[in-house]
Every structure is written in structure tokens, then in C-alpha cells.
Amino acid sequence: MRRKKVLITGISGGLANQVAEMIPKNWDIVGVGLRDLRPVKGRQIEFHRLDITKNKLEDIFRRRQVDCVIHMAVNDNPRLPIKQRHHINVVGTMKLLEDCERYEVKKVVLLSSATVYGADPNNPVYITEDFPLKVTQRYSEISDKVEFDSYCRSWMYKNPQISTIILRPCHIIGSHVHNNLTSYLRLKYIPIPLGFDPMMQVIHEIDMARAINACLRYNHSGIYNIVGPGELPLTELINIVGGMPIPVLHVVGYSALQALWSLGIGPLPAPQVEYLMYPCIIDGTRFQKDFHFRPQLSLSETLRATVLY
């Protein structure tokens, strides 16, 4: 009997490495990435060092009968020029999905982000998957994320024969994850906009890897929010990680962050201050129900085990 094969793009990343470790033993793993692959505990990986925007990717589909693709080669580094991120996140994804369609892949899992909804004072208490993507109205610098998500949705609807799952997780944090929120929470003195204390959601990288693996077990298609064990005010998150919140006037804080970011030492770009002021709380009920998923780590465990590394 032929063993199933899963192709993981961006497998050199920390989260993808943990996803690979949890893949069922009856699946063979083919991984592609731009950096050297770190050893995956208990697994042998067929690794290819390549750029998914290049034609070499198609060779893998041609030579290997790929059953499932988990696409994690999405670059969220805001220090990269938007043009470069667009090439990786949008053009690369277009090329990958063309190959999936051409070689009749049965399942595709695509990793987006809940940040595409945008942080806004008029957001509902819990944002469901059919809520419009408004982030570019306030933060145009991450328009590539919205274009990536929109293209994936369009492709999913055009290819109903393929089980396509688009995941929009809340903030992922962990010792292997490097993003703006973890950089921000690892500061000793943490600036917060004066007069604001929005509710925030985080999920541990291990729970996120479990959620991605759950997609292998069910043949659903659709868009799914992924949430952690709950939500807390920003100041409570800071207290748990042992930081000291420093309230600053929004205008002052925005200008300071902009200056620090331009010098290459700031924890996050100034426009992302919006996420420290306004809510972007998502409803993860649909994924929990369809994939029988519950996060295993509490909020306290998630924060202490990942930010205090």
C-alpha cells in the first residue's frame, strides 16, 4: 500500500519544524525551504533547499505523488520591503497553488493570520470568518497579507474538488517563533498607549502545530479562525511575562516607535500600535467544532513558557 506524502513549504521555520514532528508516522514528509533544515525529532525528511517561486518546485510534484500540502513559506518580516514580501507571499503562493491544481493534490492547508481583519474600535466583540478584511484601511504596509488571503479564498472556491483549509490564527508565540508581538513582550519596560488596554489573544506554537496537524484528519474546506485558551487585557499579558507597562501618549509613543524602528532597534513598526489600542478578537468556534480541537496549554503556561525563554 502506497504511503501518503505531505509537502511542507517553509519547513526550515520553527513552527513548521514542530508541525513536521507531529505528522502521523504513516505519512512521508517532503520539505522545502530556503534555510538549512534543523533535525526533526524522530523523523526522516526528504528536504529540498529551494525557492517556491522557481520552477524547481514543480519537479517535486512531478516526481512525487503529493497528497497534501501545508503551506508555511509565508514571510511576515515587516523589515522586508513590501515588494519583496509580495513576491514571496503572493507570487510564490500562486505558483504553488497552480502546481497543486495541475498535479491533483487532494488537500491544501494555507496559513494566513487574524491580523487581516484589522484592529478597530468598531470591531464586534468576536470576529467570525465572514467578517470583511479591513486591515489595509489603517495599515497598508501589510497589504500583501490581505492579497495572499484573498487569492487563497478565490482559489479555494474555484477548486471545490480539493479540500482547502485557510487558517487565520490569533497571535502565535513561542521560543521558536519570532514575530513583533514576542519581541514587544520580551522588553523589560513595555510602552503601552495611554488610556488603552485592549483584550488580546495568543496561542502557543505547540497548540498551533496541533491545530495544523488536525487538518490532516478531516476533509473539510473553508476558512477557520484559530484561537488559544482565552483572552486577557494587554496589561495582564505584560504582568504575566514580568514586564513593566509604561503608559505613553499615543502621539509620543507612535513617533518614538517610528524612530526606533527606522534605526533597526524597535520591537514593532509604528502602525502596529493599532493592535495595542483597539480589539481584534476572533471567534474560533467553527474550527473547534469541525476539527475537534482544544488548546492544551493555559494562557499563563503559554506566556510563561514561551516569552520567558
The domain that holds 120 is classified in CATH as: 3.40.50.720
The Cα 184–Cα 89 span in angstroms is 24
DSSP class per residue in 234-272: HHHHHHHHT-EEEEE-HHHHHHHHHHHHHTT--SS-GGG
Q: Each residue's pLDDT tens digit in the chain (309 positions)? A: 779 999 999 999 989 999 999 999 999 999 999 888 888 888 899 999 998 988 899 999 999 999 999 999 988 777 777 788 888 889 999 999 999 999 999 999 999 999 999 888 999 999 999 999 876 555 556 788 889 999 999 999 999 999 999 999 999 998 888 788 888 888 888 888 889 999 999 999 999 999 999 999 998 999 999 999 999 999 999 999 988 988 888 776 667 666 666 666 666 666 678 888 899 999 999 999 999 999 999 998 888 766 655
- Domain coverage including residue 293: 4-306
**Tell me, what DSSP letter sits at residue 88?**
I
Q: Count structural domains, the chain.
A: 1
Residues 6 or more apart in contact with residue 198 via CB below 8 angstroms: 119, 233, 234, 275, 276, 277, 278, 279, 280
| pLDDT tens, position by position, 69-92 | 999 998 877 777 778 888 888 999
| pLDDT tens, position by position, 33-71 | 988 888 888 889 999 999 898 889 999 999 999 999 999
Which residue bears the cell 502521523?
A: 24
| pLDDT tens, position by position, 227-248 | 999 999 999 999 999 889 888 8
CB contact burial 296-305 (16+ within 10 A = b; e otherwise): ebebeebbeb
